Amino acid sequence: MSDRTHTPNSPLDGAVYKGFAEIREIGPLGMITLRATADLPGLAAAVKATVGVALPEPRRMVMQGDSGAGWMSPDEWLLILPYDAVPSALAQLEAALKGQHFLAVDASDARAVFRITGAKAAEVLMKLCPVDLATLAEGEMRRTRVAQVAAAFWREGDGFTLVSFRSVAGYVLGVLSHAAQPGSELGLI
């Protein structure tokens, strides 16, 4: 079980860039990678009890307050919750799914999380990702590349939440900030 006696820090100390869209690093955020088949007995109930939402449909992120679940692949979900709640959530999943084939891992400190907001937030990602953002609905999630690195993002409220590996957080902030420079708008929105 994870030791949460340390004070969590975000990879970039909450860095912010304000261009035609705002880029904000928002860590730390609790994240659990959960691997199991969707038909695993008790999985849906365990996820609902742990983060308060149902297992999402493919390519969806369902958030309720500061917790939620995202579909990452046919046998993988990303659970989001407060950073300090991860150890108890892992214990709760272990108890609910005991004796079955699944994997639940604390991925919180391995990830960096960004919010991209503003009226033209989609234009930032349009420059960097091979995704048709014009058709991306609220709560719809994509696993893709941001420039040269793996990432996942979903539309939420007035923008997008993006998750990448912590080891490339500076690079991701850099390419997002560069893509949001005033005067470089695409004029598509």
Q: What is the DSSP string of 121-145?
A: HHHHHHTT-SS-GGGPPBTBEEEEE
Using an 8 Å Cβ cutoff, are 70 and 56 in contact? yes
Q: What's the residue count for the chain?
A: 189
The model carries a pTM of: 0.91
pLDDT level of residue 28 (50, 70, 90 thresholds):
confident
Residue 52 maps to which CATH number? 3.30.1360.120
Is position 99 within any domain? yes
Is position 76 within any domain? yes
Q: Is the peptide bond before 28 cis (omega within 30 degrees of 0)?
A: yes
Count: domains in the chain: 1
Is position 175 within any domain? yes
pLDDT level of residue 8 (50, 70, 90 thresholds):
low
* CA-based end-to-end distance of the chain: 46
Is position 169 within any domain? yes
Is position 7 within any domain? no
Is position 186 within any domain? no
Is position 3 within any domain? no
Using an 8 Å Cβ cutoff, are 151 and 97 in contact? no
Q: What are phi and psi of 37, to 5 degrees?
A: -75, 150
Residues 6+ apart with CB under 8 A from 2: 86, 87, 90, 106
Find, among 116, 126, 98, 100, the residue nearest to 38 by Cα: 100
What is the average pLDDT score of the chain? 93
Domain coverage including residue 158:
16-179
What is the pLDDT at residue 123?
Answer: 96
The predicted-structure confidence for 44-77, as pLDDT tens digits, reads as follows 999 999 999 999 999 999 999 999 999 999 999 9
Is position 9 within any domain? no
The predicted-structure confidence for 87-126, as pLDDT tens digits, reads as follows 999 999 999 999 999 999 999 999 999 999 999 999 999 9
